[in-house]
Amino acid sequence: MRQEKIVEDKIDKGITAPIGYKAAGIHCGIKKLKKDIALILSDYPATAAAVFTLNKVQAAPVLVSKEHLQTNGKFRAIIINSGNANACTGERGYDDAKKMAEETAQVLGIKTDEVFVGSTGVIGEPLPMEKIINGINQISQLANEYGYLDAAEAIMTTDTFLKSFSSSFFIEGAKVSIGGIAKGSGMIHPNMATMLGFITTDAAIEQETFQLLLKKIVDKTFNRIIVDGDTSTNDMVIALANGTSGIKPLKPETESYKIFEEQFYQVLKKLALDIVRDGEGATKLVEITVEGASTEIDAVKAAKAVALSPLVKTAIHGEDANWGRIITAVGYSGIEFDPAKLEIIINDVPILTKNYVVALPIKEANQTLKSKNIHLLIKLNLNGGNATCWTCDFSEEYVKINGSYRS
């Protein structure tokens, strides 16, 4: 095995695994008790790439971060608060988001447009800026290479566990690392959702190449997860590459780039799947694979339709292998297919075969849904279009959580 393909077995250090990054998370008073402000800092100017929500209603931190990305390709810091989304807050909200960037830049001795801003939480309420400014001044003194878990905790809202992951591997004999943290539990739907993702690497890569890579991998990870079908006002995935590993800038189509792309995918996929596992009220992780569609685009449409169906998700929660709900969702997905050719397989067990032949009695079929991890394979048997997305079941707990979110 060639050295550059060896992935190092190491303790996860999340966002600070790559060389030259620090992080911190503290409580500044937005929430009653829990940590609510996080800082991610690169010791050196880092090439930045980012993708943002496609919701027409975009929160102030999204607008400010997009502006900074347009004017500057190098960044040093990301400041994030939880407990308040700073969305639908008008001119005041925009000024507050800008002030977060300005205050962070001032205490760190960097430029304002070298700072990304993120927020998550309740929509429509102004930020408590005095608390946030005090928090920024405190946190700027605390960032260190061991603060990755504190930062991951500080960006949580209804999440029940931290989402942190890293990977270290070798390219041309040099160790390269990628780290990330994310938050998300509800309002999760393709085009991202009420989720934030922050990725760091010590690889060297040009901005245009990095942006294309991030978009490609987000489309295969964060944009393939569904919890409830709602797309938020605040989502963003931001990636920084500071080049401190010493490798040459990665170029597309090279072997080094392919190695990096695969590890980048694995980090984002792990964070994305953790969001689904932590879906509000979820008890099962569901992987939906569509094979044999006319095109990959059709396969994605069909997989997302099934993943989004409340009837499918409640049936899975109730451990009812109701294949009729699955084939119906594929039917309204908008793709062309022959229903008589469709097959449904759950956890490697055939449930429905061609020409609507039921493969198992219902009681036996239901046994395939007893696991906490469900793989639902839908074979259309038309062409070579394949795609996978991920969702979770719907439980009574989802209603409880969202019915009392503001309280």
3-state secondary structure of 151: helix
DSSP state of 394: -
Residue 337 DSSP one-character state:
-
Strands 196-201 and 7-8: unpaired
Whether 12 and 166 have beta carbons less than 8 Å apart is answered as yes
What is the rounded CA–CA span in Å between residue 280 and residue 228?
Answer: 9
Question: Please, are residues 260 and 266 in contact by the beta-carbon 8 Å criterion?
Answer: no
The number of helix segments (H) and strand segments (E) in the chain equals: 11, 16
Chain-centre distance for alpha carbon 262? 16
Torsion sign over Cα 80, 225, 368, 402: positive
Beta-bridged to residue 238, according to DSSP, are: 50, 198
Cα gap 388→393, rounded to integer Å? 16
Do 157 and 101 form a contact (C-beta atoms < 8 A)? no
- Indicate the residue type of 270: K
Closest CA to 316 of 339, 280, 342, 283: 283
Q: Which tokens in the block code for residue 288?
A: 């939906």
Indicate the helix (H) or strand (E) that contains 201.
strand 196-201
Rounded Cα distance, 359 and 352, in Å: 5
Is 71 annotated in the active site?
A: no
Residues facing 205 on adjacent strands: 250
Set 16, 112, 194, 231: catalytic member:
194
Instruction: Describe the strand order of the beta sheet including 349-353 as a list of residue ranges.
Output: 225-226, 385-392, 285-293, 373-379, 343-346, 349-353, 357-358
Q: Which residues are designated catalytic?
A: 194
